[in-house]
A and B are shown apart, each in its own frame.
Chain A
């Protein structure tokens, strides 16, 4: 979900770069390609959700309600799955990103200590 959102935002960020006078940062080809892939992933997710909802409604609903795929129980089951999946994904992503932002605001900037700098030496002996 995070990468889908950031990929879909890429063309808008490119547009912003152009408007801000930094056309070299736009990278339109990359932005549009990744946004297209993200759109394709979303399409695949939607199609999969539809198919799974159909399968579950077809095989689970008759047991519970006695109705078939096109029965009364089918549509609510499919809708519930789609809605719960979407809300769950967005909710958890928002939770994670909010937690990171809170950490950023609460914690003072403390970079990771560096390793002692490496140094150069005499070159190794030349080739014979």
Chain B
């Protein structure tokens, strides 16, 4: 079954699975119904929400409540959405509204959400993507800020308060937080744990210092609603709508911030099947965004260099892992050359252990380091396939797939 999700970072994902027809688009479910709390189920039929627009008035928000509407797109997330909602309800800074967009799930996602007292919206038909579900609900947001969070992601209690502080600057269109896998058990989860610690402790903080975080991760980000709407909401023209949106913000002169103290905990792929679908989405999404944005991005300082280096590194890694190292080892009949696969482990360990030490997780990070060496080879394989498919064969992969 096709499914979809959302990358959490340049190398990062979520848990939404939606039936998608080949020609489905992000817009215009002809009918919708919405439910809220425990009991209501009302429907508006025959009229598209898009035809029922009116001038939007900012919603009055009571003191002590952040003027934020939280959107939780969900497809068959009954097992995880409750944790997400509860973590939102115990935030040190309360939010104005929590909306779960149940994208025609076949499980109890809507019932679970309703039982926790949040608003539940449901399009008449499956929207076909996470972006589609978010855009469906975006029409009804009447607060100055909109937060997106995946239905398999929970938050640290002060995450929203930390994130909102970054939006005091009116130039900032979006802010994103630090991502840490909730479970660190399988080799893939451990590899991802190290990957995130490395990226969010080192790369992303450098990017933020220069004012250009590569991506406001879709699993947990907050946006200015008016700017988000002006950019058309979340696009479906690539498989990485958060990257598309972030790079569009930069090209229109808006800023994005990374807030390391705003921590979220997504559930990461625990097996190869789930992981492979996620990596396929991410790698194709990255290449698609480079193809879509490169002419505009070469005029954005720092970002152009960061993206070029990412592209180069990913290509070089694939060549080294799958061609150079094995061929050299065979040609010179010297197995020591295979040390090239692990040669940079000490260098990787420095930022990883620095990040882990702050969280009191040094032993867990040390035990997980070898898993990262496996994961990055798999990452390289998926990037190579995506680049070959998108750039050489010109076959664009457009199907959202998730693994659970």
Identify the A interface with B (CB < 8 A).
2-3, 6-7, 10, 13, 27, 30-31, 33-34, 37-38, 40-41, 43-45, 47-48, 52, 55-56, 59-60, 92-93, 96-97, 99-100, 103-104, 107, 109-112, 114-128
Contacts and interface: CB of A to CB of B under 8 A. Distances in A.
A60 to B, nearest CB: 7
B327 interface: no
A1 to B, nearest CB: 8
Interface string B349-364: 1110010000000000
Contacts of B230: 114, 117
Interface of B: 34, 36-37, 39-40, 42, 44, 49-50, 52-54, 56, 119, 121, 135, 138-142, 201-203, 205-206, 208-210, 228-233, 235, 237, 247-248, 251-252, 292-293, 295-296, 298-299, 302, 304-306, 308-309, 312, 316, 334, 336, 339, 343-347, 349-351, 354
Nearest to A127: B36
B81 to A, nearest CB: 18
B232 A114 contact: yes
A121 B139 contact: yes
Contacts of A110: 295-296
Contacts of A30: 205, 208-209
A97 B296 contact: no
Contact of B347 (A41, A99, A127): A41
A103 B312 CA distance: 15
A45 B354 CA distance: 16
A111 B140 contact: no
B206 A109 contact: no
Contacts of A104: 298-299, 304
B308 A96 contact: yes
- Which of A10, A43, A112, A117 is most buried by chain B, counting CB atoms within 10 A of its CB? A112
A118 B233 contact: yes
A40 B237 CA distance: 41
A112 B298 contact: no
B328 to A, nearest CB: 12
B296 A48 contact: no
A96 to B, nearest CB: 5
